[in-house]
Amino acid sequence: MNKADLVANIADSAEISKIAAAKALDAFTTTVTKTLKKGDKVTLVGFGTFSVVKRKARNGVNPQTGDKIKIKARKVPKFTCGKALKEAVKKK
């Protein structure tokens, strides 16, 4: 499913226009992004939690040359599924 499909499904489910659904989806993604940039979490009970985790610096290997390289520490976004989402996906 791509963004256009998601917007169409949201519009049908909520009985709103596709323009309103696209605005709502954009507002959601923008809000999650801003919240994660501040270092906070976004928790949607039953669905999941968006958070930021810190990855430590580590050594790696350039696959083209075989040279060892240093990979810097960084922050990355993470999504953890909620129980209800896990259960819904399990069911056939």
Rounded (10°) angle between helices 3-14 and 18-37: 120
The pLDDT value given to residue 92 = 66
Per-residue pLDDT of the chain (92 residues; tens, 9 = 90+): 999 999 999 999 999 999 999 999 999 999 999 999 999 999 999 999 999 999 999 999 999 999 999 999 999 999 999 999 999 998 76
The residues with which 44 forms a beta bridge, in sequence order, are: 48
Backbone conformation region of residue 8, classed left if phi is above 0, alpha if psi is from -120 to 50, else beta: alpha
Q: How far apart are CA 78 and CA 87, in angstroms?
A: 20
Instruction: Give the model's pLDDT for residue 23.
Output: 97
Q: So what's the pLDDT on residue 91?
A: 79
pTM above 0.85, yes or no: no
Q: Hey, where are the domains in the chain? A: 1-39, 41-92
Whether domain 41-92 has CATH 3.40.30.10: the reply is no
